[in-house]
Every structure is written in structure tokens, then in C-alpha cells.
Structure 1
Amino acid sequence: MPVSIRDVALRAGVSVGTVSNVLNRPEEVSADSVQRVSQAIEELGYVRNDAARKLRAGISTTVGFVVLDGQNPFYNDVVRGAEDEATRHGIAILYGNTDEDPSREKIYLDLFREQQVRGLLIAPYGDVMTQLRSFRSSGIATVLVDRFSADSDFSSVSVDSVAGGRLAVEHLIETGRRRIAFVGGPFDMRQVTDRLAGARAAAENAATRVDLEVIATAAMTVEEGAAAGNRILARPRREWPDALFASNDLLALGLLQSLVSGGRMLVPNEIAIIGFDDIPFAAAAAVPLSSIRQPSRMIGRTALRIVLEEAADVASIPRQTVFPPELVIRRSTTG
């Protein structure tokens, strides 16, 4: 059994109150009592439950962070940014990966609410607005990450995904591509629909005719990207698109893997590929991948800073922080 403060008091021959004073206000305790309590702590191996103490005082030292895809290096970098900022404030991050599963998302949200975390950061997958409002009614500040709050009900930190989609397709058009496919899904994810909206805007506003088709995927993974690439290869050559815009880099890397395997298609000579996120693996691919960069660590740091500010001031007005995307050009689109 864990050693309790009562065990320490019994070993030291003092009251529980004296042990508490030694731990929290040693200047108010005699030197003899401090020595006896300290010796008992060392002998018994007592470890104080600092988190519980602060929770009883109404000050939690943890922030919950729920992400929708823990296998995506982009979200790993976002969490790392939040952790870097949290360390500066003496805060710990409790992390939960929902793996795009609404039931897992609910489990983590229920857990973090029960734990009375100081704040919640969430890159949501399902419709969680009702739960998030319950967090707020419980006094827990909440910030959306990688997701714009359309109704401005909550603070959010994100990148302009519509602008990012437009940048990607405008770049493909500038390189002479006219038969472009958007590869992505599922379409109940706001990030996917926003990137597609930007792609469509770029195609519609082009000076020359650009055909934009949509190749749906069940998830944004390397495996789904490879499967989409195989479906493209199964078409007659005359029906191949000449460019692909993948809704994230993992999909783009899967496409690249399937299309160039065995020299079946030349990238970018026959087909150009661009992704979204600019994860570290993008630059290291067999054909370095062009991408739309998101400032992942800055997103995490900013979100953590905002949630702590809102936790300290419950009357603060929600704010929407939107970073601009950046086009990163590599060999997969320009050769």
C-alpha cells in the first residue's frame, strides 16, 4: 500500500497536522519536528501527492489534449509544441488519441472532465460541441486545435485550410497541370472539406480550363493513399490525372509509394503530387514531396497559452487565431 501522511506521523511520533506543516510551512515548525518528520519520510519512502493537493486547492496542474490521429507526425509536433509551452508554466499534458473514433473521443472527454483538468485542447473528430459546453459550464477552459470555430463559441488555433488548398492547386496549375485529382477523406472532417473548397476555388478561377476530380479515401493514412494510387493505375492511361493534391502528407506519401513502385509512373514527369502539413518525412521521401506547411509547434504553443489565459480569466472573449499556410516546393511537382 502507498505510504500515507498518517504513516509518516506515526513513525515520527507527531500529529498529522505537524507533518502537513513540515511539508507546506516548515518555518512554523520546530527544528526537532522537521528533523523527525524528514527522517520518517526518508525511511518510509513517502511521496507527497502534489497533484491531489493542488486539486483540493482548486488549482489543477494538468491540461488535457485530445487529437484525432496520433499516428500523424503533424499532431505529434502540435502536442510537442504544447508540451514545450506547458513546461514553462509548470503544467503537465494529459494526452489522448481518438484515432478518428467518436466513442474513444467521448471516453477521453469524460475522463478529462472527471479529472477536472485546468483546460482542454482538442482537435475534434465527431460532433463534440455539447460536451465542450459542459466543460465550460464546469469552469474548464477549452480551445479547438487545427479546427476553426465557425460560430466563434470557443477559441481556436488553426491554419487557413481553404487558403492552403488554393495554394496547392494554383501551384499545380502554374506547373502546367490541367487534370487534377483531389485525394482525401473522410468528408465529415472539416480539414478535408476546407482543403477541397480551396482546391475547387483555384480550379474555377484559373485562366484556362482545369478539370478537378475527387478521389475519396476512408482515412488520411499511407495505406489509404497507396490504395488510391492503385485505383488510379488500374485506369486506362488516357484517364490518368496529371496531378494529385492529397489532403495530407501521409496520403501523398502512400500515393507516391504506389505510383513510382516498379517505375509504373514517373513523378513529376507524368504526374505531380503535393501534400498538406509538411511533416518531416515529406522532405525525406524517395521523391521529395511538395507540401503546404503548417506551423505545427507554433499551433501547439499558442493553443496552450490561450487555454491557460482563459482558465485564469473566465470572462475572456473567445478568439480565433488563424495562421497562414506556406507553399513548400520540392521535386514531386517541379522535377
Structure 2
Amino acid sequence: MTRPANPRIQDVARRAGVATGTVSNVLNNPHKVAESTRVRVEQAIDELGFVRNNAARTLVSGRSDTVGMVVIDLGNSLFVDIARGAEAAAAAAGFHLWIANADLDHPKQETYVGRFEEARVAGVILAPVDGPLDALRAARRRRLPAILVNAPDSHPDLCCVMVDEEQGGFLAAQHVLDQGARRLVYLAAHLGLSAIARRRRGIERAVAAAGADLEIVRAKDLSIVSGQESGRRILSESAVDAVICPSDPLAIGVIQAAAGLGLSVPDDLLVIGYDDNHFAAESRVPVSTVSQPGREMGRTAMGLLLEELRDPDHVHRTVVTQPELIIRQSTTPLA
């Protein structure tokens, strides 16, 4: 028997000498097939190079075992943690997770949502870029289940998993205030992003209650290089006790700028970051930060999606998780 260019399930059945239903059981319910038959079918699959067509299978059954996930930035380990949490919960429920990286690009995000709908995934989890959710809204009108995670705002017609960003900013500011800092800078890039703006509100609340001073300084972006450039400018122009950063790379850049100017962190300057990226604890001066429960958020988002898959008419709700202060060497008490 020659090998077909694109072997089908019927070719496998003929090669193994069984019915197509038996091949289907080997693929989907192997416990229903005698071991000798299963081995024969698996050998035929291997010899023919057969690969099941899940898209066709989904069209026939009307069901998919795949969930699509679009995240704003896989360069930030928070979103890696969210994806890991969602993946673990999906696997436990018998689903597979496909992950796409929007890379802070709104049109790219919209394209990926559309591609996942075209692939007929069971549902979508979206950690969105700030902006309209047109593609997701259109997919929802066509009854695609969807969950938002780490979204700028809650939505009454969608389940959401969010972090109390204002509380995160408050924790960061209150911590450096408790160490004796009175002249604070919030080095903020992308202040148009709701998460960073909400952290600012928390910082302002803590500073106002303490009667301290706060300056808002714009950074180009959230990178180490931007932290170096902004840090040199800030520390050369004014006396500062503490710099609060909305990302850990930005904080590391400020620490490096301080060292270049002969300043010691934490003796001369306190620096705190945000997100507890995996490298924050490994830098030359381990960075204090505010951690978000990424894996918990991913698991919760997947759990909400599974609820919606079981009951499309379930009541949508928003789950708000709490950030946690992580204290390291960059904010030990002032001398």
C-alpha cells in the first residue's frame, strides 16, 4: 500500500484493518479499544504519517478543546505568570491553551482575537492593550465566550480578573515614606495606561496623608535604558529621597544611574519597582517591588471561562485580586 500525500482517517482504518470508528476511539477514547487493536492502529498512524484535522473535527462536533489567549506583553514576566496559571487550569480541565503576544500593539491584539475566532477556539482570554475591544465585542455577538484579565476597567457583560492597582501604588509609596523618605518622585512612562495612572492615584493618596512632597516625572518607556536616562536627569537636578517606578526594569536603570553619580542605594536613595519580574531579585542591588498574583489571575480567568462554557447564561462578575509589597535591599531603612 502506497502512502497517501495527505492521509485521512479512512486510510488509517484500511491500513490497520479496522473500522473508522475504531480509529476514532483510539484517538479520543483509547480505553475503549483492546490493546492489540490500539497498537495496530497506532502503528498504522505512524506508518502513514497521519495527523488528525482538529479544525474539521471541531466543525463536525461543534466543540473545541482549545482556548486562545492574547496578552499585552510577554516580555513582562507578569504576563508569563498569568499565561502559566491559565495553562495549568486549562490542562486540568482537558483543554489546550494557545498564546499570542500583542506586544503592546492594539491592531495586533485585534488581529489575534479575530484569528482565534476563525480557528473556532472554545473561548478567548484577553489581557488587553488599552483601547477599544472591537474585535472581542464582535466575537461576543457571535457567542464566543471571553474573559478579560488585567484589564483597564471592568465590563458588566464580561467576566474580568483585575488587580487593585491604586492599592499597589499606595503600598509602594507608604513603604518608602515609612523608611523616612519625604521627597518622592514617581518616574512614570505611559501615564495614559490606566494601570500606571491608577498607581499614581495610590501614590498621591499616601503622600498627601504623610504631608510629603511628590514630583511626577515622565520617562520615555519602561526599560532599563529609560531608567538610566531619566535617573541621571532627576538626580542631577534635584534632591530626591525615593524614586517609585511602575516597572522593575525602570527601577534597575535608576539604580544604575545613581551608582554612576556616586550615590548609594539604599543609603542615599530609595528605589522601588513594580511587577516583581523574575530578574528583580537577581540584580546587583535586589529591587523592592510590588507583586501582582499572576498565576492566581490566570487560574481564575480560566476558571471563569470554564464556567461560561458550561453555562452561557451565567452571571458575569469581576474578581479583584490584591497586590503584595516585596521588600528587598533597594529600600532598606535610610541611614
Q: Is the contact made by 2:159 and 2:317 (CA closer than 8 Å) also made in structure 1?
A: yes
CA contact (8 A) 2:86 2:298 kept: yes
In the aligned structure 2, how far is the partner of 1:285 from the partner of 1:223? 15
1:228 equivalent among 222, 225, 230:
230
**Alignment of 1:258 onto 2:262:** no
CA distance in 2, matches of 1:270, 1:284: 21
**Pairwise CA RMSD of aligned residues?**
2.8
Residues 35-184 of structure 1: matches in 2 within 5 Å?
40-50=44-54, 52-147=56-151, 149-184=153-188
Cα deviation for residue 38 of structure 1 reads 6.2
Indicate the SS of the match to 1:280. Answer: coil
Q: Structure 1 113/198 Cα, relative in aligned 2: closer, same or farther at 3 Å?
A: same
Aligned partner of 1:311 among 309, 315, 329: 309
**Structure 2 partner of 1:302:** 300
Deviation digits for residues 6-45 of structure 1, max 9, x if unmatched? 433565678xxx3245423899999999898666434323
> Within the alignment, does 1:23 sit opposite 2:21 as a pair?
no
TM superposition score normalised by structure 1: 0.87
Whole-angstrom CA distance in 1 between matches of 2:281 and 2:34: 63
SS at 2:50 equivalent:
coil
**TM-score, structure 2 normalization:** 0.87
Contact 2:13 2:23 in 1 (8 A): no
Offset at residue 199 of structure 1 (A):
0.8
Aligned length: 326
- C-alpha distance after superposition, 1:108-159 (max 9, x if no partner): 1111111122121111113232322222222222111112533433211122
Equivalent residue runs for 1:203-242 within 5 Å: 203-206=207-210, 208=211, 210-233=212-235, 235-236=236-237, 239-242=238-241
**Structure 1 residue 51, shift from structure 2 partner:** 5.5
Find the residue that maps to 1:276 and give its secondary structure: coil
Contact 1:149–1:155 (8 Å) recurs in 2: no
1:57 partner amino acid: S
Change (3 A) 1:204 1:115: same
Name the residue aligned to 2:320.
322
Alpha-carbon distance in structure 1 between the residues aligned to 2:279 and 2:32: 57
Output the amino acid matched with 1:221.
Answer: S
- Displacement of 1:211 in angstroms is 1.6
Q: Percent identity?
A: 37
Per-residue CA deviation, residues 182-224 of structure 1 (Å, 9 max, x unaligned), is 1122122111111111111111222x3x221112234322232
Shifted more, 74-83 versus 127-136: the winner is 127-136
Judged with a 3 Å threshold, the aligned counterparts in structure 2 of structure 1 residues 98 and 324 are, in CA distance, closer, same or farther, namely: same
Task: Name the structure 2 match of 1:246.
Answer: 245
Deviates more, 1:38-47 or 1:24-33: 24-33
* Secondary structure, aligned partner of 1:253: helix
Amino acid at match of 1:228: S
Distance 2:30 2:7 in 1: 21
Q: Contact 1:249 / 1:282 at 8 angstroms: preserved in 2?
A: yes
**How far 1:165 sits from its partner (Å)?**
0.5
Closer/same/farther in 2, CA of residues 42 and 279 from structure 1, 3 Å limit: closer
**Aligned-residue offset at 1:310:** 1.2
> Is this contact kept in 1: 2:140–2:146, CA < 8 A?
yes
Following TM superposition, by how much is the alpha carbon of 1:327 offset from its aligned partner in structure 2, in angstroms? Answer: 1.5
The AA in structure 2 aligned to 1:165 is G
Q: SS in structure 1 opposite 2:312?
A: coil
Report the Cα offset of residue 286 of structure 1. 1.3
